[in-house]
Structure 1
Amino acid sequence: MLQFLLIIAAIAIMLYYCGVKPMKYWKERGVKQTSKVWIAGDNWRVLLKLESFAEMVERVYKAIPGVRYLGAYQFTLPTLILKDPDLIKQICIRDFDHFVDHRSFVTEESDPLFGKNLFSLKGQRWRTMRPILSPSFTSSKMKVMFMLMSECAESLSGYFLKKEQEILDVDMEDIFTRFANDVIATTAFGIKTDSLEDQTNEFYVMGRAVLNFGSLRQRIKFFGYFFVPKLYSYFKIGLFDKHLVSFFTQLIEENIKMRREKGIVRSDMINLLMEAQNGIQKKEEVDDNGFASIDENDLSSIEKPALKELTNLDIAAQAMIFFFAGFDSVSSVMSFMAYELGVNIVIQNRLRKEIEDTLEECEGIITYEALLKMKYMDMVVSETLRKWPSAIAIDRVCTKPYTIEPTSSDEKPVHLEQGTVIWLPIYAIHRDPAIYPEPERFDPERFSAENRGYINPYSYIPFGVGPRNCIGNRFASLEIKIVFFHLLTKFEIVPTKKTIIPIQISKKQFNLHGEGGFNLGLKRLVK
């Protein structure tokens, strides 16, 4: 009997310290916190597929009105949610040196492709790699990539022009995912694919496998990184299956070998990283690519060690994160933009008129410079990224102790320990009616020349903010613009009987996706 009671007591003590006490973290520090569930924290509804991750972020954001920040829990991990744009600026810009890193939950030993990429790198290693990759997105590189993107977009519209139907029923998410796959293949990996004509090409099939987070097995694995990261690290459980890691690593190694043997020089990410391997670094200016674009921060003044060695695996890791972000996130934004244009025909017609005027000025061939000058196109893309941002939330990790000083009598100093996780709830900020009136309404006029000056730049952060913003933000904006330029030249996007209006966010995916897909019609404009 005594042994039984001791076991019960031990279990109770373990549950308290592992599941109950961590949930008092913010309350003990004078920070208002959410009504969490023990152990599962604020994630429990997502885990049970009762709400999407985006809905969870918005629910947590709204849990405590009238505060600059609040405490939440990713399972048992205390997370500080920033709501105030000025506080976001303070932490991500002015005091960036205290919040340099993202939270990494996959180690290099467990999964080198994910652990070695720019997103996962920390401290000085990140400071060294970021300037090496930045030249991939300068004006000269973007112009070359624009030509490759434009070819992919023309292939997409040409594929559907071959069809005889006046109105084609399509799943926009499927066609944009295939388009994004072809763009990433040619601009990052240096290979040409046509995923509409060849729907089972190996590059596309492997890409879908990498991003298959909808399965129960992958969801359990993904949540495990948050819940028991040390256990996963100990057993070296990778995010990607070994055959996927092998495929992309071998693809890069063979590509590099061929280029060196045949003296092939191509203006893409692999070539840039190969130059870095040889000690060549270049710096160029970039053109502005729209309201959502972010200026690259100059890290040259910060003392950092030289890169000792850039291996083929390092190159594969950078190409992989480029693929990871571009394949899923950008195609999702395109899908939501197609939906918004389909149900807002006046906006679509105005955008098409600008496209037609631009084509006439370019004598029938769109140029990089002409696309960047399209004001209404930029307004539509900017509004799409507000309502349907490519990232629902992003994190920062406190890398050295920091104190958030109070600004009102309701606040106390908040002392953040090293390792504290902070969230920027992008999706929720972009849908805050106090910041964007009628947030559910799709209104490109928010970003007109007359109105954009009233937008606080730290309340519009679709690609993040500060030195650790999304390095590919210009690439993504350009890709979105060029595909709609070519598509709307030949087709009108219309709702069909299968179109779900209003669109519902899928509870099965971590990123923003439409429940039941994005079923719309392409109505032919030319014979």
Structure 2
Amino acid sequence: MDLWTKALLAIACGWLYYYFKRRLSYFKDVGVPYCPGWPVLGSMGSVLFRRKHFVEMIQDLYNSHPEAKYVGAFDFVRPVLVLRDPELIKSIGIKHFEDFPDHKSFIDDTVDPLFGANLFNITGDKWKETRALLSPTFTSSKMKQMYELIVECARNFNDYLAEQPRSALAMVATKDLFTKYTNDVVATSAFGIEVNTLKDPNNDFYVLGKEATNLEGLQSLKFFLARAFPQVMKALRIRFVREKIANFFEAIIGDAIKTRDAKGIRRPDMLQLMMDAREKGAGKHVKLDITNMTAQAFIFFFGGFDTSSTQMCIIAHELTINPDIQKRLQREIDEVMKRTGGQPKYEDVNSMLYLDAVFNESMRRHSQGSLLDRLCVKAFELPPAVPGAPPFVVQPGMNVWIPAAGIHMDPKYYENPKKFDPDRYYQKKVSINDVNNLGFGIGPRACIGNRFAILETKVLFFFLLSKYNLVPNAKTRVPFDYSKDGFVIKPIGGYWLAIEPRA
């Protein structure tokens, strides 16, 4: 190696050292309490090296400075603020939403239209128009119309279990089982097609959808790379969803639209709402072509298919290792079954207090939406993080994190927070603007499909527990410690239990 090469390497190493040292000393320089970050990886190092689950990392950031209203952290090399104070969270998430209206967008819709153009990822006026367009899909009246479609899927689920030998039900991987149910629910509710995945698990809708929504392994790495280096991902044209899968879902949407237009068919689903808006003109910032309509239907699929099935796994696991809670829930189900003659209506399921409490406690105890983010678009002054410190001005382009997983496990708000205790929520309504219950987000940017996710989950457990008990087997993990091998919440070894007919 000649002298010039050595000199250039030394200069490059020196520049990199200076750059990362300066980035990682940002909060020290501005007087904000912070958690030191790893070079390049920032606060994500412990997650990428599988020392901690992402949820645990968020909780550690939240607990690092209990005296502070907010603390500094690093999204790879980018400084971010982690809010701890409920009033600040309300201020940024609700009151001053116009100053923090967006998520940080890190997927380019020209490279990956299915992920990049959906409601979660888009920003600004395009988000406002799309949100206004899709919101009517998830009203209570629309949920009532979808209810019978969901009930049919739940009854098919029970029929399938009744056909299985006892040996097959003695060792059940619930993630695989519940995704087949959610696949059928979303297929009929969002895409207007009927499949029976329990009997035909090799149908393209399920197989390709399962691949597209997988957030483990290589997909998990892509997710982190997209957050750290979005421009690199764009330049290399790296996609989350393979072109074959994108084309498949576009073809489904295109065929459904042609059929409905030709035959005058109308259904109470998201696709119909977008078709109606297309005819009226969706808005000056939103073009409702096949690609855009597919992107919106796909994010509904992603949430309803994968996130909801994981929440079902969480609930089933907690009911399995807490049999007293399961029995109490079954008593409530039996009462409704008896009162309705086995034909519960939407209002019957929706008014079940203990079922509602079990669902809400599962969202608190195991927060899939462990981190909410908001992107600043207008300079905003925060009060001092700790007494005696200077105020901090959040600049446009800076990301703010709301640590749901930290708040949900704070003993200041929840006594004995590690305990799964539905009585915390018995006869208590949870609002989308409740700063202590952030499972579906907060404010105008909260999850648009929360009613649907709650309904498909409640309906499943209503019918399942009316006929079956969930019991532990040799693979049921106790205690419920999170596996660190991926982004998704799951016990070490996965979700396993046994299903037995009730006596």
Answer yes or no: same fold by TM over 0.5.
Answer: yes
| Counterpart residue number, 1:19 | 20
| Counterpart residue number, 1:336 | 314
Distance 2:361 2:187 in 1: 28
**Equivalent residues of 1:179, 1:195 under 8 A apart:** yes
| Counterpart residue number, 1:428 | 406
- More deviation, 90-99/203-212: 203-212
Are residues 1:360 and 2:338 paired?
A: yes
* 1:125 CA drift (Å): 0.8
- Which residue among 171, 174, 177 is the counterpart of 2:176? 174
- 1:8-407 matches, cutoff 5 A: 8-165=9-166, 168-215=170-217, 217-279=218-280, 306-307=284-285, 309-406=287-384
* 1:360 CA drift (Å): 1.6
* 1:408 CA drift (Å): 5.5
Distance 1:176 1:453 in 2: 25
Deviations 1:58-82 (A, max 9, x none): 1222222221110111211111111
- Which residue among 404, 413, 429 is the counterpart of 2:391? 413
Q: 1:230 to 1:308 in 2, by over 3 A?
A: closer
* 1:472 CA drift (Å): 0.4
| Counterpart residue number, 2:496 | 519
How many residues were matched structurally? Answer: 501
Distance 1:147 1:455 in 2: 25
Counterpart amino acid of residue 363 in structure 2? L
Q: What SS class does the counterpart of residue 7 from structure 1 fall into?
A: helix
* 1:5 CA drift (Å): 4.7
* 1:398 CA drift (Å): 0.4
Distance 1:135 1:457 in 2: 22
Distance 2:39 2:312 in 1: 38
Q: What SS class does the counterpart of residue 67 from structure 1 fall into?
A: coil
Distance 2:293 2:179 in 1: 23
Distance 1:453 1:168 in 2: 36
Distance 2:368 2:136 in 1: 22
Distance 1:117 1:181 in 2: 19
Deviations 1:145-183 (A, max 9, x none): 111111111111111112242863211111111111111
Distance 1:477 1:222 in 2: 26
Counterpart amino acid of residue 369 in structure 1? E
Q: 1:394 to 1:161 in 2, by over 3 A?
A: same
TM-score normalised to structure 2 length: 0.95
**Equivalent residues of 1:20, 1:39 under 8 A apart:** no
Counterpart amino acid of residue 445 in structure 1? D
Distance 1:250 1:456 in 2: 38
Counterpart amino acid of residue 214 in structure 1? E
Q: 1:380 to 1:70 in 2, by over 3 A?
A: same
* 1:308 CA drift (Å): 5.6
Are residues 1:491 and 2:468 paired?
A: yes
* Percent of aligned pairs sharing the same letter: 38
Distance 2:188 2:125 in 1: 30
- More deviation, 420-429/165-174: 165-174
Counterpart amino acid of residue 442 in structure 2? V
* Structural RMSD (CA): 2.0
Counterpart amino acid of residue 30 in structure 2? R
* 1:486 CA drift (Å): 0.3
Q: What SS class does the counterpart of residue 467 from structure 1 fall into?
A: helix
**Equivalent residues of 1:80, 1:422 under 8 A apart:** yes
**Equivalent residues of 1:446, 1:452 under 8 A apart:** no
* 1:243 CA drift (Å): 1.3
Deviations 1:418-471 (A, max 9, x none): 11011111112111122111111011111123x779999201110000000000
Q: What SS class does the counterpart of residue 193 from structure 1 fall into?
A: coil
Distance 1:174 1:458 in 2: 33
Unmatched 5+ stretches in structure 2: none
Deviations 1:343-363 (A, max 9, x none): 111111111111111112212
Are residues 1:466 and 2:443 paired?
A: yes
Distance 1:316 1:401 in 2: 35
Deviations 1:310-366 (A, max 9, x none): 111111000011111121111111101001111111111111111111112212201
Distance 2:496 2:313 in 1: 10
Q: 1:40 to 1:376 in 2, by over 3 A?
A: same
Q: 1:107 to 1:456 in 2, by over 3 A?
A: closer
Q: 1:456 to 1:507 in 2, by over 3 A?
A: same
**Equivalent residues of 1:133, 1:272 under 8 A apart:** yes
Counterpart amino acid of residue 463 in structure 1? F
Counterpart amino acid of residue 175 in structure 2? E
Deviations 1:32-74 (A, max 9, x none): 1102211111111211222211111112222222211101112
Q: What SS class does the counterpart of residue 38 from structure 1 fall into?
A: coil
Q: 1:434 to 1:452 in 2, by over 3 A?
A: farther
Q: What SS class does the counterpart of residue 278 from structure 1 fall into?
A: helix
**Equivalent residues of 1:109, 1:236 under 8 A apart:** no
Deviations 1:277-298 (A, max 9, x none): 01189xxxxxxxxxxxxxxxxx
**Equivalent residues of 2:68, 2:385 under 8 A apart:** no
Q: What SS class does the counterpart of residue 396 from structure 2 fall into?
A: coil
Counterpart amino acid of residue 20 in structure 1? K
Q: What SS class does the counterpart of residue 336 from structure 2 fall into?
A: helix
- More deviation, 197-206/58-67: 58-67
Unmatched 5+ stretches in structure 1: 282-304
- More deviation, 99-108/138-147: 138-147
Distance 2:210 2:492 in 1: 18
**Equivalent residues of 2:33, 2:385 under 8 A apart:** no
Q: What SS class does the counterpart of residue 396 from structure 1 fall into?
A: strand
Distance 2:268 2:220 in 1: 37
- More deviation, 14-23/469-478: 14-23
Deviations 1:193-215 (A, max 9, x none): 11111111111110111123322
Q: 1:521 to 1:410 in 2, by over 3 A?
A: farther
Distance 2:240 2:214 in 1: 11
Q: What SS class does the counterpart of residue 280 from structure 2 fall into?
A: coil
- More deviation, 5-14/98-107: 5-14
**Equivalent residues of 1:398, 1:421 under 8 A apart:** yes
Counterpart amino acid of residue 115 in structure 2? F
